[in-house]
Amino acid sequence: MKIAIAQQNYHIGNFELNTQKITTAIKQAKSQGADLVVFSELSICGYPPLDLLESADFIGRCYSSIEIIKKHTDGIGVIIGAPQKNADSAGKKLFNAAWVLYNGEVLHTIQKTLLPTYDILDEYRYFEPASDWSVISFKNYRIALTICEDIWNLDKEPLYRNSPMDILAKQNPHLMINIAASPFDYAHCEQRKEVIKANVEKYRLPLVYCNSVGAQTDMVFDGGSLVYDERGHLIKEMSYFEEDFYIQDIAPKDPPPDSSSLKAGPAAEIPPFTPGHQGIMEILTVEVNIRRIHQALLLGIRDYFGKMGFSRAIIGSSGGIDSAVAVALACEALGAENVYAVLMPSPFSTGHSVTDAERLSKNLSNPYDILPIENIYHSFLSTLKPLFKDLPFNVAEENIQSRARGNLLMAIANKFGYILLNTSNKSELATGYGTLYGDMAGGLSVLGDVYKTQVYALARYINRHGEIIPEHIITKAPSAELRPQQKDSDSLPEYGLLDAVLYQYIEKNQPVETITGLDANPDLVNRILKLVNKNEYKRNQFCPIIRVSSKAFGSGRRIPVVGKY
């Protein structure tokens, strides 16, 4: 049986576009002689639709789209993902379902069993889990059809009580098909392949896996759809971070009679977290991870603008590493002509900050202007003089500069239709090293899930074919330049150590005892963790962050703003 995999980038709620993409791929599959074409999870409406699922009109349009697609299924089977109404009055009103269409009819619907409700995923809020499990029949083949998380319950300590494939395997299927919307993080690709291969090795069946691709606000889907044969050999690994189409002729043998009793191999097990300080730095900055982060950020920027109907970005360009990397990424994603850099030196800005930022924009050929804020800054001080009197200079005067810059950027954005891209990195957001309504302003955070050490690695990667980001920006000591001779190291530990501690605490949720055993002074670790905990109120007011790690700030990390821990 020739099975086509359509790895596509959907737009949430854009039923006309999504339906057009699906029907075009069906036509392509037909022209190449495919018997069956497979699309990803919730392909009809896009993933994740969130509370749009509570709208009767939204669900009605999902069903209308299915009716349109049915008309294109003469002579070819089609597997699509869409919500399905629950006919039972008990339980949630919807299922997350795979619909099997053929010759203008709905042959089967399969409901998702394992509903992820952790990190950025919240499916049990909307969907009822499946309560019965059957293989489907198509052209004399018995297919075990599952949806994303349904094949992920293979750990030693499984998250769920049931594994749909254990039940389906007893019905002697010939192959497995899994439709998915599996979000990206820079270490997830290997884990995903291990889990899929472990299913193949456990059930001794070929597996076709169709993943979504594209960015949806903060979530990035990287594609990488897969085909394995029954011996666990990888037949096809499809493109990452872009749409793709592939047809595989699968002629599965009769299923092994004892497939339901087989055990998953060690590939499904995730080893305990044990690397030391240097090991963490290697995880964060190894080139393969930096390359993936680079691709994900480009897709995140491009899809945010494209799907929102925006075209032009504005960025405050300080001559520092964060804004330089953000400008370079935006130029690559949107085109240099669509990225406007604004240089806003204050009385404390060094001369090289302006010249470095100018050189960056000249290297990239993006438009830029210089708007000094010294007069604005002194105007604020003059206005506040009756209240501030002769109190010593402190964070108030520092933040006035940052907020003046934020005001200018937003004024220009409003006047000319730009979207402000934020340049704060994850190390800064974690420790509260940023100014609300100042340098924390923006419509989208480019680097908010990228540690400072990774920002430097990204800069080196961007320069891999020649200098784009000036070398002086990469090598000089980082500074906010809000007071004389200021350096980040005045307020924060050395970034290599800081990021190692933050990674353990945020991504790995490690206890203080484990972190303090990592070449780190216990007092310093406790100081860092206190900074993370006390600055939740800042992050709670921050813009969406493009997620590239396993634990990003935002919707996937829910910490009380008012708390003591």
pLDDT at site 216: 97
Q: pLDDT tens digits for 266-313?
A: 444 444 555 666 778 888 889 999 999 999 999 999 999 999 999 999
pLDDT at site 260: 45
Catalytic residue among 41, 123, 398, 428: 41
Asked if omega into 48 is within 30° of 0 (cis), the reply is yes
Distance, in Å, from the CA atom of 560 to the CA atom of 305, rounded to the nearest integer, reads: 31
Q: Say yes or no to pLDDT of 94 above 80.
A: yes
DSSP 3-state of 135: coil
pLDDT at site 187: 87
DSSP 3-state of 561: coil
CATH class of 2-264: alpha beta
Q: pLDDT tens digits for 114-165?
A: 999 999 999 999 999 999 999 999 999 999 999 999 999 988 888 998 899 9
92 is catalytic: no
**Which residues partner with 177 through β-bridges?**
145, 208
Distance, in Å, from the CA atom of 435 to the CA atom of 396, rounded to the nearest integer, reads: 10
DSSP 3-state of 206: coil
Q: Is the pTM of this model over 0.85?
A: yes
pLDDT at site 19: 98
Token pair in block for residue 388: 């501030």
Q: Say yes or no to pLDDT of 167 above 50.
A: yes
pLDDT at site 191: 92
Q: Are 84 and 97 in contact (CB under 8 A)?
A: yes
Q: Say yes or no to pLDDT of 259 above 60.
A: no
The mean of the pLDDT values for the chain is 93
Q: For residue 358, what are the CA distances in angstroms to 182, 320, 402, 561?
A: 40, 12, 20, 40
Distance, in Å, from the CA atom of 77 to the CA atom of 60, rounded to the nearest integer, reads: 23
Average pLDDT over residues 203-228: 97
Work out the pLDDT band at 529, boundaries 50, 70, 90.
very high
Token pair in block for residue 424: 């704060």
| 520 or 186: which leads in pLDDT | 186
CATH number 3.40.50.620 is the correct assignment for the domain at 277-489: yes
Average pLDDT over residues 90-112: 97
Residue 110's nearest CA partner among 144, 64, 139 is 144
Residues 6+ apart with CB under 8 A from 272: none
112 is catalytic: yes
Catalytic residue among 45, 62, 148, 189: 148
pLDDT at site 163: 93
Least confident of 165-174, 198-207, 260-269: 260-269
pLDDT at site 264: 46
pLDDT at site 266: 44
DSSP code for 556: T
Q: Say yes or no to pLDDT of 265 above 70.
A: no
Residue 277's nearest CA partner among 531, 516, 478 is 516
210 is catalytic: no
pLDDT at site 179: 98
Q: Helix 277-285 and helix 287-308: axis angle, to 10°?
A: 50
Pairing status of strand 219-222 against strand 213-216: antiparallel
Pairing status of strand 368-370 against strand 339-343: parallel
Q: pLDDT tens digits for 16-30?
A: 999 999 999 999 999
pLDDT at site 276: 66
pLDDT at site 268: 43
Token pair in block for residue 462: 């961007």
Distance, in Å, from the CA atom of 191 to the CA atom of 151, rounded to the nearest integer, reads: 13
Q: What is the CB-side half-sphere exposure of residue 498 using CA atoms within 13 A?
A: 24
DSSP 3-state of 434: coil
Domain ranges for the chain, please list them: 2-264, 277-489
Average pLDDT over residues 398-411: 96
- The DSSP code sequence of 340-356 is EEEE---TT--HHHHHH
Distance, in Å, from the CA atom of 234 to the CA atom of 264, rounded to the nearest integer, reads: 17
DSSP 3-state of 364: helix
Catalytic residue among 45, 62, 112, 538: 112
Residue 128's nearest CA partner among 144, 112, 142, 150 is 112
Residue 44's nearest CA partner among 114, 85, 4, 97 is 97
pLDDT at site 244: 98
Percentage, residues of the chain above pLDDT 90? 83
Distance, in Å, from the CA atom of 3 to the CA atom of 32, rounded to the nearest integer, reads: 10
Average pLDDT over residues 70-90: 97
Q: pLDDT tens digits for 429-458?
A: 999 999 999 999 999 999 999 999 999 999
DSSP 3-state of 266: helix
